[in-house]
A and B are shown apart, each in its own frame.
Chain A
Amino acid sequence: MRDKVVEATVRALQRAETSLPDWVLQRIEQAAAQESHPLARHHLQFMRENVQIAKERRLPLCQDTGLLIFHVQLGRELILDFSLSEAIAEGVRIATRDIPLRPNAVHPQTRQNSGDNTGLCMPDIILDYVDGRGLLLTAFPKGAGSENMSLVGMLNPADDPFEFIVKSVGERAANACPPLFLGIGLGGSFDLAARLAKRALLNMPGSSQEELQLLERINALGIGPMGLGGDTTALGIKIEKAFCHTASLPVAINFQCWANRSATEVIQ
């Protein structure tokens, strides 16, 4: 079982780094067909070409192969007699050498690079329990350009959270490689809001009426692909909510670039 987890980690990273999920590509294609700005259309077209080159030549589509985040859905009936995090870390080391990935993980103070994308708390593993005996492992490499623009706002309950979101996206989008995918955490506490925002990115497909309205407001800003103008500023938005303190209104925005990479492996 341990070997299967190591192998699944390598396979998930291989796929996540060199291709995009179909639904992500479809959104880029739809946007390219509807975009009215010539420069923005060129950008979207070039992004599609880049994905094609990466897939054909099995190259990482972005040189920022990311900080490595994994979402594990673990069957309740499954008994593991090994350390899951160590098995995933071993897969990360192999993938870094073999795909290869750029070594990105450094100590926060010395800035010393481990050379293999592992280190204190890295890779980051988000664990959920589900019914059954299976194990679902999703690789979610996260680039720094978009992660650096992410933020948590501890708003006044009298504030409008959507106004805060639209304003923040307007100011920060250009650095985060738009068109964006936006994970929003609304409510909870300081850290729960941030965790919800990351989960929103992991859960993305399909949007509610409320999410679509917010998406429309953001696209009306005209920031466009790469921040150089256009109709397409964001390709998707998901809001995850939690109850919060009566005196609080935490809002977290987790920015994700157009190259919304992820891949899931199933272990039975």
Chain B
Amino acid sequence: MTDYHLQTPLSGADVQKLAAGDVVFLSGLLFTARDKAHALMRREGCPVSLEGAALYHCGPLILDDRVLSAGPTTSGRMARYTEEILRLGVKAIIGKGGLPGEPFQDKAVYLAYPGGCGAAAAQQLRVLGVHLKELGMAESLWVFEAREFGPMIVAVDSHGRDLYEEVRRSAQRREAD
């Protein structure tokens, strides 16, 4: 369990060195996207370059371009888009609850931000811009500047480990005992 302080854009080497259970604090650009933005990107492409990007599953609460609360949303709803999102060059997907690990192999990491901690997250974020504003506050693609955004846990690494799956399997074994 190592602490890392990383800067976006993320490189292949950044991804490579992270192992499940490590703690990450991220600075630089964060792009939010959830249900509607993913569906729209599939139809029309992405309005920004996501090369080396960290994509945050988040529907923030914003007032006059000030971030009031911005914790993670459940990533599972976006699971159907993982492969195409990673093909756009995304190196880290941030959210809660996890995503199936296989598409991350040799490509990217999944980082878990503590769910429900929107007020704390807001202290680490600043609005730089917004795309797809017609989708509404929660569903827009916000561009944030992150300062030491974390703590995030490497829950799925690029070497085939998936902490959620390990915990679920262990729970099944304990249930059977």
Residues of A within 8 A of B (CB): 38-39, 42-43, 46-47, 49-51, 53-54, 57, 59-65, 100-104, 111, 113, 115, 143-145, 148, 166-167, 170-171, 174-175, 177, 220-229, 257-259
Contact = CB atoms under 8 A, between A and B. Distances in A.
Helix, strand, loop or mixed for chain B's interface?
A: mixed
A47 B114 contact: yes
Contacts of A53: 119-120, 123
Contacts of B90: none
Contacts of B68: 59-60, 63, 100
B71 A62 contact: yes
A50 B174 contact: no
B118 A62 contact: yes
Nearest to A17: B69
B9 to A, nearest CB: 25
Contacts, number: 151
Residue of B98, B115, B138 with most partner-chain A CB within 10 A: B115
A229 B21 CA distance: 11
B68 to A, nearest CB: 5
A229 B163 contact: yes
Which size bracket describes the interface of B in this complex?
Answer: 35 or more
B105 interface: no
B171 A148 contact: no
B114 A100 contact: no
A101 B61 contact: yes
Contact of A257 (B112, B116, B137): B116
Residue of B73, B117, B151, B155 with most partner-chain A CB within 10 A: B117
A222 B120 contact: no
Nearest to A220: B174
B61 to A, nearest CB: 4
Interface in B39-95: 58-61, 63, 68-71, 73-74, 76
Contacts of B131: none
A143 B1 CA distance: 31
